[in-house]
Amino acid sequence: QAHLVESGGGAVRAGGSLRLSCAASGGAGSSKAMGWFRRAPGKEREFVAAISFEDGSTVYLDSVKGRFAVSGDNAKNSVYLQMNNLRPEDTAVYYCNAGGVVIADTYYGMNEWGEGTLVTVSS
């Protein structure tokens, strides 16, 4: 099975920035794409962003467009998420995902998750 380790979370005030990192190893192998999901308290996990290593294209949740930027390093099986102008509603545990692919602007990935990294945004 894949081993996923997220880092970079923390507590910031609204308008602040954070950069998340994730390294994947094990069963996921070489990913065609990697992505990020998040789970806010009392809510379901939702897709946030993904990058395709096949063509470099990116996909974003509408509410984070223009604020978040996803990047990756296929050779390192790593994905990053630069988060700017954070809002309280961005508060969540953020999880990365590997072994994925982007097809027709939709990310498909493995149902395997790490511990996540907590992002707390205060007003």
| Average pLDDT of span 11-20 | 98
Q: What is the pLDDT of residue 30?
A: 76
| 32-73 tens-digit pLDDT | 999 999 999 999 999 999 999 999 999 999 999 999 999 999
| Average pLDDT of span 85-94 | 98
Q: What is the pLDDT of residue 28?
A: 58
Token pair for residue 120?
């707390």
